Structure 1
Amino acid sequence: MDGSLFYWILWSLWVYLTFIMNKQHPLRFGMSACILVIIILSDVHFTVGGYQVLASGVFTLVLSYIILGKEKNGVLLYAIICSVIVTISYVTFRLFEIFDPVWIIFPKIWMMSIGLLFLGILLQNTLKRRLLIIICGTMHGEICYAFFLNRFQFSYPIGALPYLDICVLATMLLLVWSFLENAGTILQNQFRFPHKGKQKST
């Protein structure tokens, strides 16, 4: 069912941020509020130039623009280049899905999410920037894909629930990867393993 992963993952994240995460964390309230807004807007749509657009996709894209706008020029330029690479990869996958669907060997949502995971890991080295280029790149890809289909008189809703499933699953995979990358530091901070003293030589 389209949207099931989107709702399950986002509601789980919201519960974690609201009831489990450290109350003193500076990003806790902002992240939980953004997740609620995305869920609320997931069923809101409007029409622009003959294209049907879902409000949640536009909200996440604008939010990503605002966050990226605070970066330094060099970082911003590199993020734009990475976003274009993600866009091209996303659109290419969607077009191959139409013209040669036989190579889709397991569920499309997993193939695309894993592909986005690898792109994010290869192109950026922090979780925040990985998420930003994935969100910007895939949303730009949605726009390009809708434009392409419109040339052949096919309508395609930009940022619909199937897209949100892919985007949220890729985000979850990036969070898991980031946890594994920092697992050693996290465990050391949580459990405070004792250091063995040096043995004296006799």
Structure 2
Amino acid sequence: MEGLMFYWICWSLWVYLTFLVDKKNQFRRKLSAIILIVLLLSNFQFKLGEFVIHASGLFLLMICYLFISQEKRGTIVYFFICSLIVSIGYVSFHLFEIFDPVWIIFKKEWMMGICFGYLAILLQKTLKGRLLITICGTMQGEFLYAYTLSKFPFPYEISGFEYLDACALISALLIGWSAIENAGTYIQTHYQYFDKGKQKSS
């Protein structure tokens, strides 16, 4: 069922941000609000010319542009290059799926999650940067892919539930990878703390 993974991951993130994250965290309310708005807009769509666009994907793209615009000029240029790389990879993935579907060896969403998650990890060092270039790049790829398909008799809805499933899975994998990266620092800090406590007691 399309959209199931998207709803499950988004509601899980919203519950975590609302009830488990420290209330002093400055990003907590913003991220919670963004997730709720995306969930509300997921069933809304509109037609722009010959293209059918789901409002949730367009909202995510606008939010990414807003966050990127707050960075320094050099960082903005690098973000643009990274998102362009992701966009090209996203379109290439879908075109290969149409013309040579044999290489899709397991579920497409998981292949996309692993491929684009790994690409984001290579291009950006922070979780924020990885999420921004992934969402921005894949949404730009959606528009480019829809434009490519418009020359053929293939109907395609931009940022539909299939896209939202893949986008949510990529985000979840990136968050999981970031947690693993930071786990080492967390354990080391607490290990040193307990080690110092033992030395004082002895």
TM class, shorter-length: over 0.9
Give yes or no for the alignment of 1:123 onto 2:126: no
Distance apart, 1:127 and its partner CA: 0.7
Return 5+ residue gaps in structure 1 as ranges.
Answer: 198-202
Partner of 1:172: 172
Partner of 1:104: 104
Measure, in 1, the Cα distance between the counterparts of 2:73 and 2:22.
33
Partner of 1:17: 17
Large movers: runs of 4+ above 6 Å? none
Partner of 1:143: 143
Aligned residues: CA RMSD: 1.5
Partner of 1:200: none
Distance apart, 1:189 and its partner CA: 5.1
Distance apart, 1:20 and its partner CA: 1.3
Measure, in 2, the Cα distance between the counterparts of 1:50 and 1:193.
63
Q: TM-score, normalised by structure 1?
A: 0.94
SS in 2 for 1:194: helix
Give yes or no for the alignment of 1:194 onto 2:195: yes
Equivalences for residues 72-83 of structure 1 within 5 A: 72-83=72-83
Alpha-carbon distance change, 190 to 50 in structure 1, aligned in 2, over 3 angstroms: farther
1:56-83 per-residue CA deviation (whole Å, 9 max, x = no partner) reads: 0000000000000011111110110111
Measure, in 1, the Cα distance between the counterparts of 2:87 and 2:189.
38
Distance apart, 1:186 and its partner CA: 2.4
Bigger helix share: 2
Return 5+ residue gaps in structure 2 as ranges.
Answer: none
How many residues in Structure 1 have an aligned counterpart in Structure 2?
198
Q: Percent identity?
A: 53
Greater alpha carbon shift after TM alignment, 19-28 vs 6-15? 19-28
Q: TM-score, normalised by structure 2?
A: 0.94
Partner of 2:7: 7
